[in-house]
Amino acid sequence: MANPQVPANWFARDLTASIVVFLVAMPLCMGIAIASGVPPEKGLITGIIGGIVVGLLAGSPLQVSGPAAGLAVIVFEIVQRHGLAALGPILVVAGIIQFLAGVFRLGGWFRAISPAVVHGMLAGIGVLIVVGQFHVLFDAKPLASGLENLVAIPGRILGLWPADGHPAVPALLIGLVAIGCTLAWDKLRPASLRLLPGALVGVVVATLSAYFIGLDVARVDVPESIVAAIATPTMADLSGMLSPTLMVTAVAIAFIASAETLLSAAAVDRMHDGARTDYNRELRAQGVGNLLCGAAGALPMTGVIVRSSANVQAGAVTRMSAVLHGIWILGLVAALPWLLREIPMAALGGILVVTGWKLVSLQHVRHLFRAHGPLPAVIWAATLVMVVATDLLTGVLVGLGLSLIEVIPNLKRLKLDVAEAEHDHGHELKLAGVASFVSLPKLSTALDALPTDKRIHMDLGGLRSIDHTCAELLTEWWQRRRARGGDIEIRGAQGRLATMLAAH
């Protein structure tokens, strides 16, 4: 018997959505690889594995996995310090860690990471991508650190004069064409072509411009066979993982990739009314994917919100859209590698500049400040600054450390009590005690388990304190249930939480 929740035309909708996601993913897979300091085919391999393998196993059916801008910075550092051969073994270990985290049902704990820390981390990564890819616009390679890239920007610009005959001028023009077309299309696209991604338009226009004008610019270099790009780690490479430095790096990648994936999955859940994410299954799928990426010597992967939102907006119904998008990438790379070799490096650099800038979400920090006060905004800013000034792991650890300030006043009594009862007039949920990131998995489980076909009475009068992490979770749940027509009554909400709920 057919599943009543799946429409009869599901395959046609998934097929259409897969083509849209494929068009979004292709330039980003190559661009993120270049931003990571590795050949573009490494990103394509990750996109193929993320689509076909992780798409079949994922706990979030409509989420699309692949190389993520969020890990480009840490991969670049690995390649600079330890060489490309070290990346495969690190990903194998990171994948095993993610898989075990899913087996031991730790998925809920990754959701407890402060939104201020996650968005501050992404903003810092965005800044690093912008200042690094700025140099690619000049057909030059990014420098070893974010601060070096930042300091070198004025010299790169001033070095263009006199501009006549300067070899970087054609590349810069192509990069600016890619940026301009991407931004213009995102703002001005007609409704009939709303699913055509701006990044693809930017790359196509820039590539055609370089081809027909005959510009002498650096172009993407991909091998004739994608199989030739697979570099399986040797036993000597794997034995190098006994180094504490590499092991800490593997743990950092597993942690950051898992946090970014589950943040993306939560966002995807808010976009549709289908099956909710099984966070532990998603972690296991990501673990398998990163293990395979390590075995193939490719880039690390995460669930990616840009591709996932395109998937939902294009009308995807099942996981087949993600799987098919991986098949399309494989088909293009196998059949038309010459086409990819016409793409200017500066065009991909321009696309990554736009992508990096979008990660710096000033709107999110303004929301944190208005809704929760100055502390979450300070956490966001401190995480951003430390990611740019030091490294990704240090920035995240500083942000997590600052997040502890919210629980200090209630350090001796952090318990959250959750009580449920059934009545003739509906289902009642009472929360009492302290709702902090420590108790977020418990709160999340209780909210997800509430019946969807009954009136919900929620009593928050017993809460002595609620931090911004739990307040965001509760508000998002409230919005989602109200959007689906759920009958909810919330009593006893106080302070900023009451204001947030009233606004929705």
Return the HEC string of 104-153: CCCHHHHCCCCHHHHHHHHHHHHHHHHHHHHHHCCCCCCCCCHHHHHHHH
Instruction: Tell me what the pLDDT averaged over the chain comes to.
Output: 89
Q: Encode pLDDT of 345-358 as tens digits.
A: 999 999 999 988 98
| Cα–Cα separations (whole angstroms), residue 13 to 8, 21, 314, 325 | 10, 12, 8, 13
Quick one: pLDDT at residue 1?
36
Tokens coding 154: 């004025």
pLDDT at 162: 62
* Mean pLDDT (whole number) for 386-402: 88
Residue range 75-90: average pLDDT? 93
Tell me what pLDDT residue 165 has.
Answer: 61
Please name which of 115, 85, 41 lies closest in space to residue 368, comparing C-alpha atoms: 115
Is the Cα torsion angle 282, 285, 289, 291 positive or negative in sign?
positive
> Looking at the structure, do residues 383 and 451 belong to the same domain, yes or no?
no
Q: Is the pLDDT of residue 484 over 80?
A: no
What is the reported pLDDT for 182? 94
Q: Are 71 and 271 in contact (CB under 8 A)?
A: no
Domain stop point among 346, 374, 401: 346
Rounded to whole angstroms, the Cα distance separating 269 from 272 reads 6
Question: Quick one: average pLDDT of 427-455?
Answer: 89
Supply the pLDDT for residue 240.
Answer: 85
Indicate whether 201 belongs to any domain: yes
Predicted confidence (pLDDT) at residue 8 exceeds the cutoff of 90:
no
Among 409, 431, 446, where does a domain finish? 409
For residues 86 and 244, give the distance between their C-alpha atoms in angstroms, rounded to a whole number.
Answer: 13
Give the best-scoring range by mean pLDDT among 63-67, 189-193, 306-310.
63-67
The structure tokens 């330039």 sit at 27
pLDDT band at 7 (very low <50, low <70, confident <90, very high): low
Asked if residue 265 has pLDDT above 80, the reply is yes
Is 138 in contact with 156 (CB distance < 8 Å)? Answer: yes
As a whole number of angstroms, the distance between CA 21 and CA 324 comes to 9
Do 367 and 481 share a structural domain?
Answer: no
Instruction: Tell me the pLDDT band of 401, cut-offs 50, 70 and 90.
Output: very high
Q: 288: pLDDT confidence band, cut at 50, 70 and 90?
A: very high
Of the residues 371, 386, 409, the one at which a domain ends = 409
Q: In Å, how far are 27, 195, 255, 471, 480 from 43, measured between CA atoms?
A: 10, 23, 20, 37, 34
Same domain, 422 and 383: no
Half-sphere exposure of 54 (CA within 13 A, CB side): 36
Residues 275 and 380 grouped into a single domain: no
Tokens of 17: 């959505």
Instruction: Show the domain range for 382.
Output: 362-409
Residues in the chain: 504
Contact 312, 268 (CB under 8 A): yes
> Do 319 and 456 reside in the same domain of the chain?
no
First to last CA, the chain: 39
User: Is pLDDT above 70 for 6?
Assistant: no
Q: How confident is the model at residue 284 (pLDDT cuts 50, 70, 90)?
A: very high
Are 288 and 392 found together in one domain?
no
User: Are 30 and 117 members of one domain?
Assistant: yes
Best CA proximity match to 29, nearest among 69, 81, 78, 1: 69
Q: What is the pTM of this model?
A: 0.84
Q: What angle do CA 335, 341, 346 make, to 5 degrees?
A: 140
Percent of the chain whose pLDDT exceeds 90: 50
Do residue 337 and residue 482 come from a single domain? no
Same domain membership, residue 192 and residue 126: yes
Mean pLDDT along residues 371-380: 91
Do both 313 and 449 map to the same domain? no
- Rounded distance between C-alpha atoms, residue 140 and residue 232, angstroms: 29
In a domain, 334, yes or no: yes
More confident residue, 326 or 69: 326
Return left, alpha or beta for 433; rule: phi > 0 is left, psi -120 to 50 is alpha, else beta: left
CB 95 within 8 A of CB 293: yes
The CATH number assigned to the domain holding 465 equals 3.30.750.24
* Among candidate residues 495, 490, 463, 491, the one with its CA nearest the CA of residue 478: 490
Residue 397: how many CB atoms within 10 A of its CB?
A: 16
pLDDT at 72 over 70: yes
Give the model confidence (pLDDT) of 105-155 as tens digits: 988 787 778 888 888 988 898 899 899 999 999 999 888 788 888 999 998
- pLDDT confidence of 322, banded at 50, 70, 90? very high
Taking only the tens place, the pLDDT of each residue in 196-211 is: 889 999 999 999 999 9
Is 351 within the bounds of a domain?
no
User: Is there a domain that residue 354 lies in?
Assistant: no
Task: Quote the CA–CA distance of 117 and 90 in Å, as a whole number.
Answer: 24
Instruction: State whether 94 and 202 are in the same domain.
Output: yes
Residue 352 lies in a domain: no
Look at residue 72 and tell me if it is in a domain: yes
DSSP 409-475: GGTT---EEEEEEEETTEEEEEEEEEE-GGGHHHHHHHHHTS-SSS-EEEEEEEEEEE-HHHHHHHH
In a domain, 205, yes or no: yes
Which position has the higher pLDDT, 380 or 262?
A: 380
Q: Which amino acid appears at position 211 of this protein?
A: Y
Number of domains in the chain: 3
pLDDT band per the 50, 70, 90 thresholds, residue 376? very high
User: What pLDDT band is residue 4 in, cutting at 50, 70 and 90?
Assistant: very low
**Residue 497: band (very low, low, confident or very high) from pLDDT cuts 50, 70, 90:** confident
User: b/e string for 287-315 if b means 16 or more Cβ within 10 A?
Assistant: bbbbbbbbbbbbbbbbbbbbbbbbbbebb
Are 399 and 250 within one domain?
A: no
Is 270 within 8 Å of 62 (Cβ atoms)? no
Determine the Cα–Cα distance for residues 325 and 50; give it in Å rounded to an integer.
Answer: 9
